A and B are shown apart, each in its own frame.
Chain A
Amino acid sequence: MAGLLHQLLSGLVTGGIYASLALALVTIYRATHHVNFAQGEMATFSTYVALTLIEAGLSYWVAFALTVIASFAIGVAIERLLLRSMAHAPVLTSVGVLIGLLLIFNSLSGWFFGYTIKTFPSPFEGNAAGRVLGGYVSAHELGAATVTLVMLLCVFLFFRHTKIGLAMRAAACNPTSSRLVGIRVGWMLAFGWGLAAAIGAAAGMLIAPVVFLDPNMMAGVLLYAFAGALLGGIDNPLGAVLGGLAVGVIENLGGAYVVGTELRLTLALAIIVGVLLIRPAGLLGRTVVSRV
């Protein structure tokens, strides 16, 4: 029983990692109806930028803030300069462009910053060994989970209860009508990208202390985050976070108790697909019903 509990905790920790990136994915989806395949690599790149700032002498929170702002700017720039011209292209073309971005960011991270693992500082270190809950969850992991939940709350409130959030959702759902009511669709999309990039950067800075920073840090995380976001419903921030946590737990428990670690990835994906078959829009997603 204790073993199960510990595995569960471990799963929640890993799931927290997926949840934070899933939040960025969902944000960008709500704002633009794009799934940003390059989200993970952008987050890694941002984290490297943060590390460079910290190593240059800035304090953690200053570097954090600057990185988030810089990432926001990069996100806006990508949308305005690159994707805007693709607006009239087939959807699949934009997927191709995002894959291109993924390759570029990944390669640049390795080229500029090298491939050896780097430690990334955490603002949450507790006592000497950072032990909480018997060491199954570290102080940082707890802190990171809190920050993720705070971000979740902010995103949720933003989209639900602010005018800009509403405008962004409108711009994504129905650009033509939005323009008719005076919404500046182009800038809403850009803002959405900026916001997602910023969240991604924060996620990267929360994840790096746990897994060590290296250019391929997010490769696997992206898939799990994607899976978690879809499991929870790609248009629902709360769903994304819950989905991410669920993926972490399923993967852990599946690997520890059901199929062994050699097949746990397969099992986790099979379960997710199974759930999607029963609820095709995800657990908390909205089912879109079209009328003829």
Chain B
Amino acid sequence: MLAGAVLLLAPVFLFTDYHLFQLTLTVTTAVAILGLDLVTGYTGQISLGHGAFYAIGAYVTAILMADCHVPYWATLPVSAAVSAGAGFAIGMPALRLRGHYLALTTFALAVAVPQILKYHGLEDWTGGVQGIVLAKPDPPLGLKLTPDQWLYLFALAIAAPLFLLARNLVRGRIGLAMVAIRDHPLAAEAMGIDLARIKTRTFAISAMITGIAGSLGAIAVQFVAPDSFPPLLSIFLFVGLVLGGLRSQAGAVIGALFVQFLPNLADQISKAAPGAVYGIALIAVLYLMPGGVAGALRRALEAWPQRRPRGALAAATRGPSASPGGTGHVE
């Protein structure tokens, strides 16, 4: 635990402002992927539209800060509530849809959001195509920190309880229920699990977490515009989730590192076709580690003789890793 805390806090003293800024963005992406993992990794509801919740959170924060002069930290609870509401609203119709149909619906959401943000009828609020510029928060109480250092700490302070929340959720009865729903919905229902309740609530919590990530992102970048939330964002969150590994909080962080730093790497390798480099790297990682990095780590840890999985709960929430003829029953 302490080692982890040291690892997380050390950058404040050792890294430049620029790298802290990058880390802050990584933290927000990790939180966003954490949210996505709840619906896609655990409950098995594939979402290609979480960028929409990210955008909602970001814009709520931006509008409150710019128009209503609400301090940045006070916008977070509002953003959480609005995103959760949106998640619930999507989660209800999502009950009826399975697999690819749900994927399309969520992707449709991701595609529609920029259009709605650009709509001239809402321009007075959203700033239309020009977006909204925000002021950078200063460290409170006259602390001797640069704004970047403070933002990083702030992001960590918000991310930590969210990770804890997710962890407790998936390790508890609800987590078991979620995985049961993913693996065998009929059996789960037969055992008395209320599918509708669990699924919609999971969607709401997932959207809330990703929405808060969006708010953090808006505060860190100090700018929101429809072009900041294209459908590609949802795709990259999904890619980060798969690369990092499903059903893993560490996977969310690893995935975020990929999403944050892989494009820069691709850019350095090839200016002419960075997209191709990104795609090749993506395929290579998935080829070598089909369960994502976290999946591979998990398997490596299990292979170690001293390490034993802690109890039935952990074994159940790990889910099936491989079975013949295609696996990972996606809802």
| Direct A–B contact present (CB less than 8 angstroms) | yes
Query: Chain A interface (Cβ within 8 Å of chain B)?
Result: 33, 35, 82, 85-93, 95-97, 99-104, 106-108, 110-111, 175-176, 223, 226-227, 230, 234, 262-263, 265-266, 269-270, 272-273, 276-277, 280-282, 290, 292
Q: Is the CB of B275 within 8 A of A104?
A: yes
Query: What's the least CB distance linking B297 to chain A, in Å?
Result: 16
- Distance in angstroms between the alpha carbons of A110 and B279 in the assembled complex: 14
Q: Is the CB of B120 within 8 A of A262?
A: yes
Q: Is the CB of B286 within 8 A of A86?
A: yes
Q: Is the CB of A227 within 8 A of B108?
A: yes
Q: Is the CB of A108 within 8 A of B97?
A: no
Q: Does B207 contact A (CB under 8 A)?
A: no
Q: Is the CB of B100 within 8 A of A234?
A: yes
Q: Is the interface of B mostly helix, strand, loop or mixed?
A: helix
Q: Is the CB of A96 within 8 A of B112?
A: no
Query: What's the least CB distance linking B328 to chain A, in Å?
Result: 3
Residues of B within 8 A of A234 (CB): 100-101
Q: Is the CB of A100 within 8 A of B286?
A: yes
- Distance in angstroms between the alpha carbons of A269 and B112 in the assembled complex: 8
- Chain A residue nearest to B105 (CB atoms) is A273
- Distance in angstroms between the alpha carbons of A101 and B282 in the assembled complex: 9
| Proximity string of chain B (224-267) to chain A, C-beta cutoff 8 Å, 1 when within and 0 when not | 00000001000100110111001000000000000000000000
Query: Chain B interface (Cβ within 8 Å of chain A)?
Result: 40, 46, 93, 96-98, 100-101, 103-105, 107-109, 111-112, 115-116, 118-120, 186-187, 190, 231, 235, 238-239, 241-243, 246, 272-280, 282-283, 286-287, 290-292, 322-330
- Distance in angstroms between the alpha carbons of A87 and B272 in the assembled complex: 32
Q: Is the CB of A103 within 8 A of B276?
A: yes
Residues of B within 8 A of A35 (CB): 100, 103
Q: Is the CB of A280 within 8 A of B96?
A: yes
- Distance in angstroms between the alpha carbons of A35 and B46 in the assembled complex: 13
Query: What's the least CB distance linking B325 to chain A, in Å?
Result: 5
Q: Is the CB of A107 within 8 A of B276?
A: yes
Q: Is the CB of A265 within 8 A of B286?
A: no
22 sample A-B contacts, Cβ–Cβ < 8 Å, listed by A number = A86-B287, A88-B324, A89-B290, A91-B329, A93-B242, A93-B286, A93-B291, A93-B292, A95-B238, A100-B280, A102-B279, A103-B276, A104-B276, A107-B277, A227-B108, A234-B101, A262-B120, A266-B115, A270-B108, A276-B97, A280-B96, A280-B101
- Distance in angstroms between the alpha carbons of A96 and B276 in the assembled complex: 14
Given contacts A111-B276, A276-B97, 8 further A-B contacts (CB under 8 A): A90-B291, A90-B328, A92-B246, A95-B238, A100-B279, A273-B93, A280-B96, A282-B101
Query: What's the least CB distance linking A6 to chain B, in Å?
Result: 25
Residues of A within 8 A of B105 (CB): 273, 276
Given B186, B273, B291, which contacts A292 in the complex, CB threshold below 8 Å?
Answer: B186
- Distance in angstroms between the alpha carbons of A91 and B111 in the assembled complex: 23
Given known A-B contacts A96-B243, A230-B100, A176 and B326 have beta carbons under 8 A apart: no
Q: Is the CB of B283 within 8 A of A101?
A: yes
- Distance in angstroms between the alpha carbons of A273 and B95 in the assembled complex: 12
Residues of A within 8 A of B107 (CB): 223, 226
Residues of A within 8 A of B108 (CB): 223, 227, 269-270, 272-273
Q: Is the CB of A92 within 8 A of B112?
A: no
Residues of B within 8 A of A290 (CB): 186
- Distance in angstroms between the alpha carbons of A273 and B118 in the assembled complex: 21
Given B97, B98, B238, B280, which contacts A96 in the complex, CB threshold below 8 Å?
Answer: B238
Residues of A within 8 A of B276 (CB): 103-104, 107-108, 111
Q: Is the CB of A104 within 8 A of B279?
A: yes
Residues of A within 8 A of B243 (CB): 96
Query: What's the least CB distance linking A177 to chain B, in Å?
Result: 10
Q: Which 10 A-B pairs have the closest CB atoms?
A: A90-B328, A107-B275, A89-B290, A103-B279, A104-B279, A107-B276, A269-B108, A100-B282, A96-B242, A100-B279
Q: Is the CB of A92 within 8 A of B328?
A: yes
Residues of A within 8 A of B287 (CB): 82, 85-86, 97
Residues of A within 8 A of B46 (CB): 92, 95
Residues of B within 8 A of A33 (CB): 326
Residues of B within 8 A of A93 (CB): 242, 286, 290-292, 328
Residues of A within 8 A of B186 (CB): 290, 292
